[in-house]
Structures are given as structure tokens and as C-alpha cells.
Amino acid sequence: MQSSSQNAAVELSHHGLEPSGSVHWNLRWEDLHSFAVDLGEAKLTSDGVLLAVTGERTGRSPNDRFIVDEKGMAEEVWWGEVNRPTAPAVFERLLLKVQDHLNSADNIFVKDAFCGADPHHRMPVRLVTEKAWHAAFMHNMFVRATEEEINVHQPEYTILHAPELKSSMSDGVNSDVFVIIALDRKMVIIGGTHYAGEIKKAIFTIMNHILPSKGLLPMHCSANTDGDNSALFFGLSGTGKTTLSADPDRALVGDDEHGWSENGVFNFEGGCYAKLIRLSQEDEPAIYATTKIPGSILENVILNADGTPDFDNDSLTQNTRGSYPIEFIENRTPDSMAGNPRNIVFLACDAFGVLPPLSRLNPDQAAYHFMSGYTAKVAGTEIGVTEPQATFSTCFGAPFMPRHPSVYADLLSTKIQENDAQCWLINTGWIAGGADASSRIKISWTRTLLNAALNGDLDNVVFVKDERFGFEVPTTCEGVPDSILQPRETWEDKTRFDNVANLLAQMFIENFEQYASGCSKKVRDSGPKQI
């Protein structure tokens, strides 16, 4: 295995580190995977793909994530349940513990990379970790630096990653896990958790804070393009974001995090971090293929006796994951960039059966729905859920948005108007009485409506205004029954529809109250009303 002893640009002493063990600088993924296996961190599937198990923490730990509350960049943070403050003294104490822990480790792995595919807006980042497989994850998930770039790489932000180090309540945190972002000190410290997603989400949180001050919009969304017509897809888990953005006629820009500059959209990432639970070759062939390619990493997946993954086994977690370089997806843009989007798509899985399969939004309505980030949980999908439950996630990515939601919404509205983009709200859930009375809208109908919107086939179609929600709904679309386009007409009991629709409208209204003071009157007035 190859191992470099030094980096010519920025030494570890810059981060307060003086390791006593071996330091491995910017190893190839092959060497990192070999280290991970030899050190007992992970094992290989029958296809030679690395498999790691994260232990107790199999997902993010939102209650253990903090931003240091100090003068400077943190003054622009929108504090609350998502963005939790911690004192500089807490950070300093835990920073010393992390530094001491890494200094005493037998092996340290350093990985330098970039966040952002656009060379004009990318941010150089560094991970210093005690685990080879986490360095391999960094290699997959961020934009890989060339050998020439490595030699002069100067990280703007650095993550000191100590998954084996546990904290305690006496440290001023909530548990034995901590993820603390110090914006002005250009540093993140992570301890007590092996879940790899904390690494990428910490960096994205920083990008989501920095970019708006430069006039760029950071977005938790997928993106694709046909070369001339780029589209963005916003949606929470289960709304169809991954499925609908994967189109054989459109190249994938990225599946999770993007920026929107004056020149167009660019992927933050150099890879994908896909959910694998119930993955099938038939339904998602491109993602399935990556699970057999050495270089990919599987997380918390159970292996069969023959060493093949059992994607239906959720005994460790429902949140099984696969990390792979975006180059493993054949139908993609070569530079993970695309032009200014002509279409913005918000996806909602509406279990109440109220929202139309497709509706058109004006820029102010787009800002309202962007800030709302609506979908609905379906009865039976989670323990304790016995009827549809509305879920709102700010900007479709609340856990990673440090600023007030209006900052991102205003930027989105500006971008939409500057580029004359069309905005669409698509319901991938139910109509005809809702989830307890009908089947989910056919994916073929959703795909037909989406393609019609993206291709301009609805430009000459008559739209009617929905008096309750304010958006416009098409009266017809070739390939889709006209009868489904107006949800009220699909309900046998029209009075019950009106009652349920008013209930959902009120949920929107009550949720938006938390944002109202920071929004323009035009945006506030763009939401639904009871009728």
C-alpha cells in the first residue's frame, strides 16, 4: 500500500495536531479500502465492495449537532431546534480532546478535496480521521483533487473526525456524540459516531451558510438536463426525487446538493449517497449496478452467507446506504454542471388527497412552497402513524440550512425571475379520497405530466386557478385522464373533500407563521386560505 508522509501545502500542525502514529496523506481509494479491511474497520462483499457497519448510530444525530455562538459569521444563524448554539468554551474543551485523541491514534488518514464542481465557486476542504473507510467515503463524496491540486491544496474548512472518542454531559453536550461547527474558525469537530453522513452534511451546512452572502443559492435537490433545458427537483424522502430525476433522456447533474450561480447549477458533490433499503435491480438498475463496483462503499447492509448484499434486511437500520463516485453513473453530465434551470419542480407525496397531480406556481408562490417544504407521512409507514400526517421541512432541507428560510426563498425567487423559469408543484401521492380510499397516483401519469411540463407541452393548455391554494391547474394533458387533474372531482363526497382541503390549508398557514416576520407581504399572501 502506498502512503505519503507529508503534504507540501498545509501541515497538520496548522490544525493543532502532532500525531505520534502513522500519517497517511491522500491515499488512493484502493489503498484506503485495503487499510480498512486490514485494520478490521470493514469487510468486502463477494464483489469486492467495501462494507462498513456504524454501530449504534446508523443515521444523523440532530440533537447532538451544534454551531458555535460567537461574533462573526454565526451572527447570521437562525437559531432554534435545528440550529442549536453552543458556547465557544464548549468547543474549545472538546477540540482539545479531539486533538489529543487523534495525536495518540496509531493511524491518521488525511483526505483533501473540494466541495463544489464549479471551479469558480468550489471550497477546498480537508478531513483528518482515524478511520481509513471514512477517508474513502470522503474520496467518494467530494470533488476529487488532481495530483497537481493536492500539492498546493489549502483547506478553507477542516473536519477533525474522531468517531472512537465519546463525550459526556460534563462536556456541555447532550450525549456521547457531538458534531460542532465553528464557522469563523473554519473547523468542524465530530466525535462518538461512525455514521459517515455527518461528514458530508457538516460541509454542506457550511456551504449553505456561505454561498448566500455571495449571491449564490445553495439547494438540497437533485438536478438533470437534456443539454439545453435544466431542471431542479426538490422533495423530501419518499416523494420520488431520485426516481423522477433519473431519466434516460436527461443527464444527471447530481442527486442531493447543488448551488445556483450566475452561470447555472453545479453539484456540490463528487458522488452519491443513496438509500439502499429494498433496492432492486429492476426498479433502480443504475444504483444497483454501483453496489457491485469496487470503489463503492456499503453502509449497514447485511450480507448473505455467500457474501452478497441482502438489501431487504433492515435488522440494523432502515437507513442502509451506498456511497459511490458519480462517475459510476453512466448517464451524467461530465463536469457535474448545467445551465440555468428552466424548470423548478417541488415534489409532495400528499396523503390527504387534496393537491393536484400537477400545478403551476408563480415566483411568490414558489417562495412560499419552498419555505414550507411539504409532504405527508402515510398511515402505517411509521410506528404510531394511524392517519396522514403533514410534514414540513424548511427549503426541503431544514437540518442543513443555517440562515433564516427567507434568505434562501428570496434568492430562489430572484433566480426564477432572472431566468424566466417555470415552477411546478407535483403531487406524487394520492387523490380520490386520499391514502385510505385510493391507490397512489400512477408513476406513469406523474412521469407524463412531468415530461409535458419540462418539454413545454403545457404552454398552450388552458389552466384554471385553484381558489383555495392559489396555484394554476391544467385542464388537460395528453396521456393523462383529464378527470384526475382536478382532485375535488375525484372525490365522491365533495363536502368531505372541502373539509380535508381546508384542514391541509390550515396546516400550511400555521406552519408558515414561524417565517412570516421575515417575508415580504407578497410571499405571505401567496399561501393557501380556507374557503
Out of 216, 242, 267, a domain closes at 216
Question: Given a cut of 50, is residue 387 above it in pLDDT?
Answer: yes
The one catalytic residue in 255, 256, 350, 364 is 256
Task: Show the DSSP H helices in 104-196 as ranges.
Answer: 132-141, 147-151
Bridge partners (DSSP) of residue 324 are 272
Residue 378: its pLDDT value, please?
57
pTM across the whole model: 0.89
Residue 237 designated active-site:
yes
Residue 209 designated active-site:
no
Question: Given a cut of 80, is residue 385 above it in pLDDT?
Answer: no
**Rounded Cα distance, 114 and 131, in Å:** 20
Q: Considering the domain boundaries, does residue 413 fall inside one?
A: yes
Residue 29: its pLDDT value, please?
97
Residue 475: its pLDDT value, please?
96
Residue 447 designated active-site:
no
Query: What cell does 292 get?
Result: 457491485
The one catalytic residue in 242, 372, 393, 428 is 242
Question: Given a cut of 70, is residue 501 above it in pLDDT?
Answer: yes
- Do residue 179 and residue 31 come from a single domain? yes
Question: Given a cut of 70, is residue 190 above it in pLDDT?
Answer: yes
Residue 8: its pLDDT value, please?
53
Residue 270: its pLDDT value, please?
95
What CA dihedral angle connects 381, 201, 247 and 297, to 10 degrees?
-90
Q: Considering the domain boundaries, does residue 509 fall inside one?
A: yes
The one catalytic residue in 201, 360, 377, 403 is 201
Q: What is the pLDDT of residues 95-146, one digit of tens each?
A: 999 999 999 999 999 999 999 999 999 999 999 999 999 999 999 999 999 9
Residue 86 designated active-site:
no
The domain that contains 147 carries what CATH number? 3.40.449.10
What is the share, in percent, of the chain residues with pLDDT greater than 70? 96
Q: What is the DSSP letter of 439?
A: P
**Rounded Cα distance, 217 and 209, in Å:** 10
Question: Given a cut of 60, is residue 3 above it in pLDDT?
Answer: no
The one catalytic residue in 241, 250, 258, 332 is 241
Cα 367–chain centre separation: 19
Task: Tell me which residue of 161, 443, 141, 180 sits closest to 267, measured CA to CA.
Answer: 141
| Domain residue limits at 382 | 340-524
Q: Which amino acid is at 313?
A: N
User: Do the strands 297-299 and 50-52 form a parallel or antiparallel pair, or are they unpaired?
Assistant: parallel
Question: Given a cut of 70, is residue 49 above it in pLDDT?
Answer: yes
Please check whether residue 134 is in contact with residue 193, taking contact to mean a CB–CB distance below 8 angstroms.
no
Query: What cell does 181 get?
Result: 461547527
DSSP letters for 465-499: E-TTT--EEES-BTTB-GGGSSHHHH-S-HHHHHH
Q: Considering the domain boundaries, does residue 420 fall inside one?
A: yes
**Rounded Cα distance, 527 and 164, in Å:** 47
110 membership: H or E segment, kind and range = strand 107-115
C-alpha distances in Å from residue 333, one per residue of 117, 223, 336, 491: 11, 10, 5, 43
Q: Considering the domain boundaries, does residue 374 fall inside one?
A: yes
Q: What is the pLDDT of residues 245-260, one digit of tens each?
A: 878 889 999 988 999 9
Q: What is the pLDDT of residues 192-210, one digit of tens each?
A: 999 999 999 999 999 999 9
Task: Tell me which residue of 33, 36, 28, 266 sits closest to 147, measured CA to CA.
Answer: 28
Task: Tell me which residue of 352, 422, 356 sits closest to 387, measured CA to CA.
Answer: 352
Residue 41: its pLDDT value, please?
97
> Total domain count for the chain?
2
When pLDDT is averaged across residues 155-167 and rounded to a whole number, the result is 97
Q: Considering the domain boundaries, does residue 263 fall inside one?
A: no
Q: What is the pLDDT of residues 352-378, one digit of tens each?
A: 999 999 999 998 999 899 999 998 865
Please check whether residue 5 is in contact with residue 25, taking contact to mean a CB–CB distance below 8 angstroms.
yes
Q: How confident is the model at residue 182 (pLDDT cuts 50, 70, 90)?
A: very high
The one catalytic residue in 60, 111, 144, 404 is 60
The domain that contains 348 carries what CATH number? 3.90.228.20
Q: Considering the domain boundaries, does residue 326 fall inside one?
A: no
When pLDDT is averaged across residues 290-309 and rounded to a whole number, the result is 97
User: What is the three-class DSSP state of 410?
Assistant: helix
**Rounded Cα distance, 232 and 454, in Å:** 11
Question: Given a cut of 90, is residue 285 above it in pLDDT?
Answer: no
Give the mean pLDDT of the chain. Answer: 92
CB-based contacts of 185: which residues, under 8 Å, 6+ apart? 68, 91
Q: Considering the domain boundaries, does residue 212 fall inside one?
A: yes
Out of 181, 216, 251, a domain closes at 216
The one catalytic residue in 4, 168, 213, 237 is 237
Cα 224–chain centre separation: 15
Residue 388: its pLDDT value, please?
67
CB-based contacts of 16: which residues, under 8 Å, 6+ apart? 95, 99
Please check whether residue 139 is in contact with residue 113, taking contact to mean a CB–CB distance below 8 angstroms.
yes
- Do residue 347 and residue 209 come from a single domain? no
Residue 256 burial class via C-beta count within 10 angstroms: exposed 0-12, middle 13-18, buried 19 and up = buried
- Do residue 211 and residue 348 come from a single domain? no
Residue 256 designated active-site:
yes
The one catalytic residue in 122, 126, 220, 403 is 220
Q: Considering the domain boundaries, does residue 288 fall inside one?
A: no
- Do residue 355 and residue 211 come from a single domain? no
Residue 2: its pLDDT value, please?
40
Question: Given a cut of 60, is residue 5 above it in pLDDT?
Answer: no
Q: Give helix then strand counts, H and E, for the chain.
A: 13, 30
Out of 166, 192, 216, a domain closes at 216
Residue 205 designated active-site:
no
What is the share, in percent, of the chain residues with pLDDT greater than 90? 76
